Amino acid sequence: MKERYISFLNLSFPNKNPTKEQIKNLILKTSNLFTFKSAHRKSDYMSDEDVLRGYILYFVPVNIAKHYSIFKELFRYPFLKNKKDLKILDIGCGPAPALLSLFNLIEEGIIYLEQIKYLGIESEEKAISIAEKLISDLKPEKLIAESEFIKANASDLKIYKNLINIKPDIVIFSNSLGEIFEKREIELDDFIEIIRFFYYKNPKTTLIIIEPGTKKASISLHRLRDSLIEKIGLYPYSPCLNDLPCSALKANNWCYEERKWSPPDYLNFLISVGLQINYIKFSYIVLRKDRVNIKDTFEGDGEIIKNTSHLLREKGKSRLWACWKGELIDMEKLKRDFSEDEIWLKIKKGDYFSIDKYLKLSNKKVRLPKDCKIKILYSP
Ligand SMILES: C[S@@+](CC[C@H](N)C(=O)[O-])C[C@H]1O[C@@H](n2cnc3c(N)ncnc32)[C@H](O)[C@@H]1O
């Protein structure tokens, strides 16, 4: 996959080899816009050439990695895994990392799509033109990809009338929904009605919403999750194991993913200047109507749990925060009950695992006994 990143460098610096300083400055300029300066960010930031170049260098590879990891778990489900053609609608698509991630999965022989019809909705012309260049550079030879872009404001409810009739298999809002809602031109109830109609036209649609891994974005996303479940009857495919109200929100907490990825080589020097770039941090939901769930793709039985935290090593025990049956549970194992090479210690943040027995210490706390069989079912 790494070879492919060279297109991003060439697009940001045509006809010249940039210095590390130039790369770093562009990335920091764009990054600041999404963090410290987000309150003053103009909605047409993608039309600023430097911002767009910084976005191509860092955020496009990062967002490809997020989609890659989500699609990889979605395509575990046999109905999708065996699909040869796919219709995708990507709203606020930017430079189209969603489609580019599918190219990587096809090239690596993880999915077998032969034909993709992709429609991106985007308000910024420059982002569309970058998307078109990247698609033409990176499309696998054997894939038939029909990509089309509509320059439009996704807050304008009128555009959805036509989009719904496309009956997309997958509808994506990636790092765009927060921005669309921010402008307050679209209400939550309107959004829910739009999603309801997508499902009315195609009950097999998959809805993917990705947001940044910040506390604010994650809490808003999981509130939206709960509303979509309650009002339209959608069911999470991942990362949640059920449609119960979000356990993190119930516990006044928040939930996000932190997944390892391989950054492009041209970014490696950023580690030496103290930037943490080996992990991607984000929050997301994948929703469907037919109640299929990632756990249906796991082998084995027992209680299935999602670990939402890092393993916390403490004196005498180690603990993690388990999302389990709609509650955030403090799960522990005593040090005397495990050895240093045990599976328990290998459970990472985000992993799905099963247990065959436990001791209930309180409503919010369980202990795993020494002879508890633990199995890691899937590490995203
Ligand atoms: C943070 S970028 C995300 C781009 C891409 N989906 C990704 O994951 O990298 C948000 C994109 O949404 C677009 N956008 C924001 N508000 C929009 C709106 N109301 N209508 C259409 N596009 C919008 C922006 O121009 C920008 O390209």
pTM reported for the whole predicted model: 0.96
- Are 258 and 112 in a shared domain? yes
Rounded Cα gap, residues 327 and 244, in angstroms:
9
CB–CB of 256/178 below 8 Å? no
- Are 210 and 346 in a shared domain? no
Taking Cα atoms as reference points, which of 301, 285, 297, 154 lies closest to residue 226?
A: 285
Taking Cα atoms as reference points, which of 289, 259, 306 lies closest to residue 64?
A: 259
**Helix, strand, or coil here: 286?**
strand
- Are 120 and 225 in a shared domain? yes
Per-residue tens of pLDDT for the chain, all 380 residues? 456 788 899 999 987 889 999 999 999 889 888 877 776 777 788 888 999 999 999 999 999 999 999 999 999 998 888 889 999 999 999 999 999 999 999 999 999 999 999 999 999 999 999 999 999 999 999 999 999 999 999 999 899 988 888 999 999 999 999 888 877 778 899 999 999 999 999 999 999 999 999 999 999 999 999 999 999 999 999 999 999 999 999 999 999 999 999 999 999 888 877 777 899 999 999 999 999 999 999 987 789 999 999 999 999 999 999 999 999 999 999 999 998 889 999 999 999 999 999 999 999 999 999 999 999 999 99
Radius of gyration of the chain (CA): 21
Which of 296, 318, 333 corresponds to the end of one domain? 296
Residue of 60, 68, 176 to test ligand 1 pocket, by largest number of atoms within 8 Å of CB: 176
Number of domains in the chain: 2
Take atom 3 of ligand 1 and give the residue whose Cα is closest.
Answer: 175
CB burial of 22-61 (b: ≥16 within 10 Å; e: otherwise) equals ebbebbebbbebbeeeeeeeeeebbebeebbbbbbbbbbb
CATH number where 149 lies:
3.40.50.150
- Are 319 and 287 in a shared domain? no
Sign of CA dihedral 193, 291, 99, 6: positive
CATH number where 351 lies:
2.40.50.140
Rounded Cα gap, residues 4 and 137, in angstroms:
9
User: Range of 303's domain?
Assistant: 298-378
Q: Check if 154 has its Cβ closer than 6 Å to any atom of ligand 1.
A: yes
- Are 309 and 224 in a shared domain? no
CA 122 to centroid of ligand 1, rounded, Å: 6
CA distances from 309 to 41, 150, 350 (A): 32, 40, 7
